[in-house]
């Protein structure tokens, strides 16, 4: 079939196929849209990708700026996501991060239509419907959709159209869809160029070989000129491949001249696990469609050579460019097996394929967990309510630095910054030092944010947080480990501060020593209202320690009923114990939410090393009343 291709579903031999295909598409979109809404409302996005791209599109619509304050560069210096300019008019209709997530879901779910047409062309209606269902249940697809928003994921849709147009012989539509795919990200030209290699193997007309390769080279060259100019060497993506060489030229040279190094990288357990995650849910059938799998090669090598372990797993978005070719391989693999083996019956293959995708979900997920997420009642927990209350206190146009989970809720402003850059002291994938710009007026921080202070954990990171304990920043409001700071506002109620040995009024003496290096002297109960405890802990440094110590409070009613379990870093990570000098005193103020307001409480305190999780000491129960009296019962256990 040459010339133009209509993307309307052709008349089908099985009348139910068309409504069923649309029904499965609608169910997929409804399912993942509902999950996205729940995740957003419950602060379930724990990276900054959604916020980065939402800020970009919002800036395009509001002043036409391409600068992205989170990244610290124009967004085209990060990735060549030209597709965001095309998304902006759609986003203008409903300006919200959920719009981007919805577009992503439509693109991934909508890819089932070109896939169906392609499979129907190569096989038949029944096989096409089974492949379409398997696609929508494919684990890597689900995880791609669930992890934030990424413009490169939209390339999945356009690459499926490319595959269909290639099979149908529609060259013009193939080239148009190839350019749309390349607009999604700068590495997509590799897939387009590989179409030319596939065409060479299949002895197609010269235009199918030369034009995709030339178009890919031209576009990739253009991207490699624009991105460094915009980037100003702030984001150093080639640092992911420094083990292969210090410059792009040396990296390429070593790939071709060091087969031992390449073999070592490809033979790693992570690579083998990645192959299993990609192909086991499809019963390894795509491996029989060998030629059409060639476009996977540059992306697989990109992931295998990177030091970023997240690229060698389906649990993020990195499989987005690979998925179309895996399913093209599945279609050709089925055709290969049906034509060349009289022992393999169609029914056996269908059962094997459906069984494989079920087994793949059992091993890798996530579809067996999705019903629980979907049908569990929407419940805003007390921590979520605290986050919304503090977000409401941030003015609309003020510059803000925040930990990850707050970022998507703060994007509609000119200046937004990620706290992990402050904490690490560097830009993402960069050796360039990061300094928080002066236009940041607020800091909204969850000091228990597991991505900022877990994935980017550093024993010395506190040094980059101590400006929050200086006189230039004050506490606007706080609860639990979540604090809203404001610049140039003095606050009498510091959440943590260094004090003199006589500068405190401690009502309750404890005298708990931990690791022979620190002592919890005691505490004062300031207030209790609406089941909220306002307490101050007093600490003393007995000697300098390399440990970064945190603690867990288990608060119980008088009868022993557990009311709450609170994990806390000592002094909010601003003055952690490994920064203390012998003889120094600190006080740490906390507000703790409890399900009940009682007159008497017990608490048990467990100390642990933040970096290793190793338990250092357990003490309690401490029994205290709102009036301020206490006694200590039970026995302490620890390493001392």
Residue 517 token pair: 């290096």
Residues 463 and 606 in one domain: no
Cα–Cα distances in Å, from 183 out to 192, 195, 263, 525? 12, 17, 33, 59
Mean pLDDT for 59-88 is 95
Measured CA to CA, the distance from residue 235 to residue 186 in angstroms comes to 15
| β-strand pairing of 496-499 with 532-541 | unpaired
pLDDT of res. 529: 67
User: What percent of the chain is modeled with pLDDT above 70?
Assistant: 93
Domain boundary (316, 349, 373) is at: 373
Q: Is the pLDDT of residue 519 over 60?
A: yes
Residues 470 and 599 in one domain: no
pLDDT of res. 295: 96
Burial of 208 (0-12, 13-18, 19+ CB in 10 A): buried
Does the residue 281 lie in any domain?
yes
Does the residue 71 lie in any domain?
no
Residue 203 token pair: 């002895």
Measured CA to CA, the distance from residue 411 to residue 50 in angstroms comes to 9
How many domains, in total, are found in the chain? 3
Mean pLDDT for 191-219 is 97
Measured CA to CA, the distance from residue 127 to residue 116 in angstroms comes to 9
Mean pLDDT for 79-103 is 97
Is the distance from CB of 520 to CB of 503 less than 8 angstroms?
Answer: no
Measured CA to CA, the distance from residue 186 to residue 81 in angstroms comes to 7
Residue 627 token pair: 């009036």
Residues 181 and 125 in one domain: yes
Q: Predicted confidence band at 451 (pLDDT cuts at 50, 70, 90)?
A: very high
CA angle 209, 212, 213 (to 5 degrees): 80
Three-class DSSP category at 81: coil
Residues 457 and 585 in one domain: no
Half-sphere exposure of 408 (CA within 13 A, CB side): 24
pLDDT of res. 2: 42
Q: Is the pLDDT of residue 635 over 50?
A: no
Cis-peptide, bond into residue 621, ω within 30° of zero? yes
CA angle 579, 582, 588 (to 5 degrees): 55
Is the distance from CB of 109 to CB of 281 less than 8 angstroms?
Answer: no
Q: Is the pLDDT of residue 112 over 70?
A: yes
Does the residue 324 lie in any domain?
yes
Residues 469 and 323 in one domain: no
pLDDT of res. 636: 45
CATH code where residue 507 lies: 2.60.40
Q: How many CB atoms lie within 10 A of CB 291?
A: 14
Measured CA to CA, the distance from residue 282 to residue 297 in angstroms comes to 18
pLDDT of res. 639: 42
Residues 556 and 477 in one domain: no
Is the distance from CB of 468 to CB of 485 less than 8 angstroms?
Answer: yes
pLDDT of res. 520: 94
Residues 172 and 138 in one domain: yes
Measured CA to CA, the distance from residue 580 to residue 225 in angstroms comes to 49
List the one residue out of 430, 444, 427, 412 whose CA is nearest residue 56: 412
User: What percent of the chain is modeled with pLDDT above 90?
Assistant: 71
Measured CA to CA, the distance from residue 123 to residue 131 in angstroms comes to 10
Does the residue 91 lie in any domain?
no
Domain boundary (318, 348, 373) is at: 373
Q: Predicted confidence band at 375 (pLDDT cuts at 50, 70, 90)?
A: confident
Residues 572 and 554 in one domain: yes
Q: Which of 3-17, 57-71, 350-364, 591-605 has the lowest mean pLDDT?
A: 3-17
Q: Predicted confidence band at 224 (pLDDT cuts at 50, 70, 90)?
A: very high
Residues 488 and 512 in one domain: no
Q: Predicted confidence band at 492 (pLDDT cuts at 50, 70, 90)?
A: low
pLDDT of res. 530: 64
Measured CA to CA, the distance from residue 202 to residue 220 in angstroms comes to 25
Q: Is the pLDDT of residue 632 over 70?
A: no
Residues 36 and 113 in one domain: yes
pLDDT of res. 229: 92
pLDDT of res. 491: 58
Q: Which of 349-363, 394-408, 594-608 has the lowest mean pLDDT?
A: 594-608
- Mention every residue, 6+ apart, whose C-beta is less than 8 A from residue 122: 167, 331, 332, 335
Does the residue 630 lie in any domain?
yes
Is the distance from CB of 387 to CB of 401 less than 8 angstroms?
Answer: no
pLDDT of res. 16: 76
User: What are φ and ψ of residue 570, in 5° steps?
Assistant: -65, 130
pLDDT of res. 259: 87
Residue 364 token pair: 């890798």
Mean pLDDT for 543-556 is 92
Q: Is the pLDDT of residue 64 over 90?
A: no
Residues 288 and 168 in one domain: yes
Strand partners, 534: 527, 591
Measured CA to CA, the distance from residue 618 to residue 552 in angstroms comes to 9
Q: Is the pLDDT of residue 108 over 80?
A: yes
Mean pLDDT score across all residues of the chain: 90
Does the residue 79 lie in any domain?
no
Could you tell me the residue range of the domain that residue 464 belongs to? 382-492
Residues 356 and 272 in one domain: yes
pLDDT of res. 528: 67
pLDDT of res. 640: 45
Does the residue 6 lie in any domain?
no
Domain boundary (448, 472, 492) is at: 492
Does the residue 164 lie in any domain?
yes
């Amino acid at each position: 079939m040459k010339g133009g291709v209509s993307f309307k579903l052709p008349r089908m031999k099985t009348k139910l196929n068309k409504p069923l295909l649309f029904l499965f598409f609608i169910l997929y979109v409804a399912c993942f849209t509902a999950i996205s809404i729940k995740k957003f409302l419950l602060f379930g996005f724990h990276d900054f990708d959604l916020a980065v791209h939402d800020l970009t599109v919002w800036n395009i619509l509001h002043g036409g700026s391409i600068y992205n304050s989170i990244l610290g560069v124009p967004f085209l210096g990060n990735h060549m996501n030209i597709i965001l300019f095309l998304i902006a008019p759609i986003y203008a209709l409903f300006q919200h991060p959920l719009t981007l997530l919805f577009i992503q879901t439509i693109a991934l779910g909508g890819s089932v239509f070109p896939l169906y047409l392609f499979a129907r062309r190569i096989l038949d209606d029944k096989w096409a419907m089974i492949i379409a269902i398997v696609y929508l249940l494919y684990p890597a697809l689900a995880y791609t959709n669930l992890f934030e928003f990424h413009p490169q994921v939209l390339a999945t849709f356009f690459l499926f159209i490319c595959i269909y147009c290639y099979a149908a012989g529609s060259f013009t539509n193939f080239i148009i869809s190839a350019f749309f795919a390349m607009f999604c990200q700068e590495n997509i030209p590799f897939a387009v160029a590989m179409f030319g290699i596939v065409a060479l193997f299949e002895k197609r007309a010269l235009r199918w070989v030369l034009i995709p390769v030339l178009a890919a080279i031209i576009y990739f060259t253009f991207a490699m000129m624009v991105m460094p100019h915009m980037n100003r060497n702030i984001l150093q993506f080639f640092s992911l491949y420094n083990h292969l060489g210090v410059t792009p030229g040396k990296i390429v040279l070593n790939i071709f001249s060091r087969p031992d190094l390449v073999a070592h990288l490809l033979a790693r357990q992570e690579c083998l696990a990645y192959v299993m995650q990609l192909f086991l849910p499809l019963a390894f059938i795509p491996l029989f469609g060998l030629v059409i799998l060639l476009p996977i090669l540059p992306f697989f090598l990109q992931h295998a050579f990177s030091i970023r372990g997240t690229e060698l797993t389906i649990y993020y978005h990195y499989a987005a460019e690979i998925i179309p070719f895996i399913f093209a391989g599945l279609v050709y693999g089925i055709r290969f097996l049906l034509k060349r083996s009289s022992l393999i019956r169609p029914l056996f293959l269908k059962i094997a394929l459906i069984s494989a995708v079920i087994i793949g979900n059992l091993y890798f997920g996530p579809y067996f967990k999705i019903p629980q997420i979907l049908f569990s009642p929407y419940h805003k927990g007390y921590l979520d309510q605290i986050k919304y209350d503090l977000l409401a206190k941030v003015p609309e146009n003020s510059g803000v630095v925040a930990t990850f989970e707050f970022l998507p809720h703060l994007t509609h402003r000119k200046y937004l910054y990620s706290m992990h850059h402050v904490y690490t002291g560097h830009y993402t994938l960069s050796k360039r030092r990061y300094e928080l710009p002066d236009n940041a007026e607020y800091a909204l921080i969850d000091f228990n944010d597991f991505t900022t202070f877990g994935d980017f954990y550093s024993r010395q990171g506190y040094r980059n947080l101590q400006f929050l304990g200086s006189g230039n920043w004050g506490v606007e409001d706080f609860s639990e480990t979540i604090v809203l700071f404001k610049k140039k506002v003095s606050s009498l109620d510091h959440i943590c501060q260094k004090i003199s040995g006589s500068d405190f009024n401690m009502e309750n003496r404890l005298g708990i020593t931990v690791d022979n290096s620190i002592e919890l002297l005691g505490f004062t109960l300031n207030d209790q209202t609406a089941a909220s405890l306002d307490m101050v802990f007093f600490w003393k440094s007995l000697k300098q320690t390399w440990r970064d110590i945190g603690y867990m409070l288990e608060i119980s009613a008088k009868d022993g009923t557990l009311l709450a379990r609170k994990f806390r870093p000592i002094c909010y990570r601003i003055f952690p114990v490994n920064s203390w000098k012998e003889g120094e005193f600190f006080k740490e103020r906390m507000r703790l939410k409890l399900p009940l307001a009682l007159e008497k409480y017990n608490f048990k305190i467990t100390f642990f090393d933040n970096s290793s999780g190793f338990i250092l000491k357990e003490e309690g129960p401490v029994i205290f009343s709102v009036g301020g009296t206490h006694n200590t019962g039970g026995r302490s256990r620890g390493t001392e």
